[in-house]
Amino acid sequence: MDHRPQRTAPFQRVGIPLRALLLALVVAVIPVAALAASNGQGNGQGNGQSASQGGAAATVKGITVALSPSSRTVDQGQSATFTVSATSTGGFTGPVTFAVTGLPAGATASAAPSSVNLTSGSTAQTTLTVLTSPTTPVAKTDFTVKGTGGTTVSNAAFGQLQVLEVKRTFGVTGSVNGLLAPGVSRSVDLQISNPQNKGIAVTNLSVEITQVVRTSAAVAANLPCTTADYQLTQYSGPYPLTVEPGTRSLSGLGVAQAKWPQIKMLDTNKLQDGCKGATLQLTYTGTGQAN
């Protein structure tokens, strides 16, 4: 029996395949990592192409509208002007009309020209005039302007209109031409005084008998005379009456005497001796609009 130790050669032969196996594993790992990197790069390129394609999409055609100035202040019955600018975006071309919404009661809007024609990338302007009336409410009001071209509608351009109350005064006086007697009418040539530095347009005039002042003798004798003994016919001439600064009379304004206010003393069955020498106190009122 041989007691010599065994050789280790078999172990060396086994070691060779292990190293080969390790090398094989290393080689296998490298392609996987490279594939992962390649896949990551490929995804990045794919996303970039998608974004690029999205950016190259067709731009929507449109209209952009702007209003200048953004606000105006006017007196009742006056007008304010704005400039409306319409700009083509995205290659829009064609005529554009304008619409205004939100104006206060009694106010109207008009554009001159009523429409503009846009070429691609161009800007055109129109003048918007907002006209108020004497009855337009005193307030600040927001409104909008839009442009329309075919089926294309612009953004809403916002504006504000502030309407102020007209606080201008004028005076009205008058005198009766001649004496009154039962059954006799006398006309009243009204005098209109305009202290302003601008003309006014008078739109209403009226006269009222506020008191009959009897003589002291009539009072002592207890002779009656009242407003019931008289009849008033109001002014029937044309309106408005344009009164420049200064004082103007109805006759000076060219109003026919038959249209002036008329005062008539009635001829009644009652005793009217108390009206002899009596003085009538008249009150005049009028309204108008500053020009």
The type of residue at 131 is L
pLDDT of residue 5: 52
pLDDT of residue 241: 94
Taking CA 226 as the corner, what is the angle to CA 221 and CA 232, rounded to the nearest 5 degrees?
A: 150
Calculate Rg over the CA atoms of the chain: 48
- Only one residue has tokens 């109003």, namely 255
Work out the angle at residue 279's Cα, subtended by the Cα atoms of residues 175 and 221, and round it to the nearest 5 degrees.
Answer: 170
Sign of the Cα pseudo-torsion (131, 195, 234, 229, in order): positive
pLDDT at residue 177, as a whole number: 80
pLDDT given for residue 94 in this prediction: 97
190, burial (CB in 10 Å: exposed 0-12, middle 13-18, buried 19+): buried
Question: What is the predicted pLDDT for the residue at 86?
Answer: 98
Per-domain residue ranges of the chain: 62-164, 171-290
Domain spanning 62-164: CATH 2.160.10.10:
no
Q: Quick one: which of 226, 243, 230, 239 has its CA closest to 188?
A: 230
Strand partners, 209: 282
Domain made up of 171-290: CATH architecture: Sandwich (2.60)
Q: How confident is the chain (291 residues) per 10-residue block, as mean pLDDT?
A: 51 48 44 44 41 57 96 92 97 97 96 97 97 93 97 97 84 89 95 88 93 96 96 95 94 95 95 94 86 56
- Report pLDDT for 3: 54
